[in-house]
Amino acid sequence: MEAATLPIDPENPPSRGYVRTTGSLSRRMIMIAAVWILVLLSGGGFALDRVLTQAVTRNFDDQLEYVLTALIVSAEIGPDGEVMFNREPADQRFLEPGSGLYWQVSAKGREAFPSRSLWDRRLAFGATHADRDVHIYDSKQFPNERLRLLERDVKLPGSDVNWRFSVAQSRENVDAQINALRKTLVRSFLLLGLGLLMMAALQTFYGLWPLRKVREEIARMRSGQSRQIERPMPIEVAPMVEELNGLIAHNERQAEEARRHAGNLAHALKTPLTVIMNAATAEAEDLGETVIREARTMRRQVDHHLARARAVGRRGSAHSRADVWPSLESVERAVARLYRHVRIDIDGPKTLQVHVERQDLDEMLGNLIENAAKYGGGSVFVTVGQHSGFVEFLIEDDGAGIPEEERVRIFDRGVRLDSGKPGTGLGMAIVRDVAEIYEGTVSLEESEDLGGLLVRLRLPAAN
């Protein structure tokens, strides 16, 4: 009876497997770039603003200090003890009331001598401290006018009074210069940040473009237009593409092996089934014997192909690894219980590992050691070692051996050179097939030490 097949709705095709995501890689890269650009531009902009502000302010203070020095140099004491200037300051703003540029000479207990620009206002004078050096500070003593003030205490010749010379100027011009610089700085840095973000986005889009090409190539493979990714890729993406192509080739080999095994099994079962059907149709007298004989044949074929199928399926694991010594000891104990008259000796390093599943390793070693015990003369010697990336097993016995012309044929399914002992004739064939699945080899030679058969099994090392 055939299994029912559900029809596929072309308008609602089966959905693909859901893949969990952790967000957009492009967005993540752009966000990292944006945060880093923001931090760098903010820090750089703040530092540059401090440098420019200090430079403009220092230049402003230097000009006021020059005026202050000129006032001190040109000052002298008059007949009545007042302060006089042998030359007036050249800047006409000192003569214009409320011009924003002022000077004043003050002393404790004396009337202040102001510039005409101060008109009826006076600069504050604090007699609680002495300014032997130039004292620079900002002042808000005039309503609606912030001042930059420079002061210095000087004792003029012919006078025992400490006179304080003060020069003040409105900060309006210097603040306007600083604001203009800051606006230019902010606009420039905003434009620079926008440009850097665009560059980061373009770099991310262009840098991740090969991944989009990989996706397109995989879509082409899904549609049957290609068998692997053939488009050239950047150096950083090439290893991933190579691994992907290797995985695809590996899956194709497994699928091809599965198809071949199914075909071989079907072909192997076809002849026994035909014999049984013919015997049943003809109502042969030996129908029972025929069924039993052909059923045994079919069972051997099924066992053989099942062993190969299991090995092929387990070979797909990238972490297949088995310790050699525990497997040898396990097989030795099992065979020793079956053949108590046989002595089995094992020699070699105890730390070796092979890229083979433990179950398959046990099956191969079990077949080989059991054959050596079954067909040998009572002694079996197993040597294990590592050579050129392979772990090599040498299984020797003291039996009659196998003629060289028969050594190739012994690997055929169902071939038994000694039909007097029980067996299916599949052991050596299974060992060969499983070893080849793991890219290993098995060969037959003559043992120089024991005189019987030497089986050389080589499997890829995992050490």
Quote the CA–CA distance of 172 and 146 in Å, as a whole number.
7
Q: pLDDT by residue (tens digit) across 14-29?
A: 445 556 777 788 888 8
Sign of CA dihedral 39, 44, 49, 51: positive
Mean pLDDT of 67-72: 91
Look up residue 334 and give its amino acid: A
What was the pLDDT predicted at 184?
93
Strands 135-142, 75-77: pairing kind: unpaired
Q: What are phi and psi of 188, to 5 degrees?
A: -65, -45
What's the CA gap between 222 and 281, in Å, rounded? 48
Terminal-residue alpha carbon distance, the chain: 51
Q: Is 341 buried (19+), middle (13-18) or exposed (0-12) by CB count in 10 A?
A: exposed
Q: Which fold has domain 319-460?
A: Heat Shock Protein 90 (3.30.565)
Angle, helices 427-437 vs 358-375, to 10°: value is 150
The pLDDT tens digits of the residues spanning 320-362 come to: 789 999 999 999 999 999 898 999 999 999 999 999 888 889 8
What's the confidence (pLDDT) of residue 264?
Answer: 65
| Residues carrying CATH 3.30.565.10, the chain | 319-460
Residue found by looking up tokens 């603040």 in the block: 175
Mean pLDDT value across residues 423-436: 70
For residues 103-113, average pLDDT: 88
139 sits in which H/E element:
strand 135-142
Q: Residue 183 phi/psi, 5° resolution? A: -60, -45
Q: What is the pLDDT of residues 34-47, one digit of tens each?
A: 999 999 999 999 99
> What is the pLDDT, as a whole number, of residue 397?
92
Angle, helix 358-375 to helix 324-338, in steps of 10 degrees = 40
Pick from 301-315, 347-361, 417-431 the range whose average pLDDT is largest: 347-361
Q: Which residue has the higher pLDDT, 387 or 293?
A: 387
Q: What is the mean pLDDT of residues 186-209?
A: 90
Which range, 165-169, 357-361, 398-402, has the best average confidence (pLDDT)?
165-169
Short-list 277, 279, 278, 271, CA closest to 300:
271
Report pLDDT for 420. 41
Residue 316 has pLDDT above 80, yes or no: no
Query: In which band, very low, low, confident or very high, does the pLDDT at 217 lie, cut at 50, 70 and 90?
Result: confident
Coil/strand/helix, residue 241: helix
